Amino acid sequence: MIVNISDAKTNLSKLIDMVYHGQEVIIAKNNLPIVDLVKHKPKGKRKLGLLKDKISIPEDFNNENEKVNEMFYGKDL
């Protein structure tokens, strides 16, 4: 089913229900197909720990650097 934007605005709930039940809905502008209205497909769950043992963080990671502090705050600390 091809629907112009103005009709899609007024009938969005109905169109969403149609897509949910398997119908194809295409939204058009001036009768030119622009977008397909499709049912959302959730992505898979994120897997934590993919970089475990593949990166290392130096021990001094959180230590402040005087030169960087001077650039941000000036010498009058």
Q: What is the pLDDT tens value at each position of the chain, 77 positions in all?
A: 999 999 999 999 999 999 999 999 999 999 899 999 999 998 888 888 888 899 888 898 889 888 888 999 988 75
Domain tally, the chain:
1
pLDDT, position 77: 55
Residue 72 located in a structural domain: no
pLDDT, position 10: 96
CB 19 within 8 A of CB 39: yes
Domain span including residue 13: 2-37
pLDDT, position 47: 86
pLDDT, position 45: 87
Residue 21 located in a structural domain: yes
Residue 55 located in a structural domain: no
pLDDT, position 44: 87
